[in-house]
Structure 1
Amino acid sequence: MTAFESNSLRSYSQEEVQQILQLAIARQTDDGNQEFSYQQIIEIAAELQISPEAVKQAEFDWIAAQSEVQQRQAFDLYRQGKLKKRLGNFAIVNSFFMLVDFVGGADISWSLYILLFCGLVVVLDIWNTFQSKGEDYEAAFQKWNRKHQIKQTINTVLNKWFKAFQTY
């Protein structure tokens, strides 16, 4: 049996085919920045006996997935910004209490309890900020996403309204 015959007898699952083709396409292009036109994608799909409608639907699904990835990245940046603000507040408030404690008694005593308690709260906040899986994260993301979409809708309506008044 030749190498070609043994290769033709192999069979692969759809997931394995996708992985093999993905690796082959990556190796085909020495330049990782090579781009394919939509027409080239249609031609490749035609060779694989994939209908143009299936490609169009797949592209639509891919665009939607990329949009969600971008929204999640924006949400993560938003959460990290809130964390930085809370860390700054923590530093300012605890510095104030430690200064009052030091000036009032020439040493630091009771302010350490406040520092420890606030430190625990900040550590939990850090944990929650960088936890990007689970129900709590999904609930927070959905809440932020709804709020973000409402703001975008309001901004769009107001922009149209102001443009309408500018034309008069």
Structure 2
Amino acid sequence: MTAFKSNLSRSYHQEDVQQILNLAIARQSDGGELSREQLIEIAGELGISTETLLQAEQDWLLQQQERQKHRDFNLYRHSQLKRRFGKYLIVNLFLVCLNLLMQGQLSWSLYILLFWGFGLGLNAWNTYQLQGEDYERSFQRWYRKHQLTQVAQSLYSRLNTWLKAVG
């Protein structure tokens, strides 16, 4: 009991408090889910107002949406890299075979293989870099293009529906 009393006088940084509470809540719920009512009750016990909790929930939802956008972007980049690698393999296999058939040895096809491979390697490096200004610029470019595509598809479907209704 004295060990617990001496630990009561400790002080913690805000990040430490959050981590400790996260662990305690995880243990309390036994890895299951907590209802929204339980979340509001826990916040009330911690002296957090309902308005603050609702704003925090909205911020969390926005963060989750942003994370999902980044996951979608990363999946897109990986699929683009796979597509480029497939083209690289097919074309260079053809060129190496053509070079071997025509000259009996590898000569000019190696230059194409190496230079294209170097470019593909740089592309792979950029694909797996998930931080930095270049990544954020690429993400913003992709996101704007993605939004424009969604708007165009929406307009197209509305126009198509309208034309069917008129015709």
Aligned residues: 166
Q: Which residue of 1 aligns with 2:20?
A: 20
1:113-164 deviation digits (Å, cap 9, x = unpaired): 2111111111111111111111111100010011111112222333334444
1:9 CA displacement: 1.4
Alignment partners' CA distance in 2, 1:151 and 1:84 = 22
| RMSD of Structure 2 on Structure 1 (CA) | 1.7
Q: Which residue of 1 aligns with 2:117?
A: 119
Q: What 5-or-longer segments of structure 1 have no aligned partner?
A: none
87-96 vs 42-51, which moves further? 87-96
Q: What 5-or-longer segments of structure 2 have no aligned partner?
A: none
1:70 CA displacement: 0.7
Q: TM-score, normalised by structure 1?
A: 0.90
Q: Which residue of 2 aligns with 1:99?
A: 97
Alignment partners' CA distance in 2, 1:75 and 1:51 = 36
Q: Which of 109, 126, 129 pairs up with 1:128?
A: 126
Q: Which amino acid is the alignment partner of residue 38 of structure 1?
A: R
Q: Which amino acid is the alignment partner of residue 56 of structure 1?
A: L
**2:65 pairs with 1:70:** no
1:17-76 deviation digits (Å, cap 9, x = unpaired): 10100111122233x2x1112111111100000011111111111111111111111101
% identical aligned pairs: 51
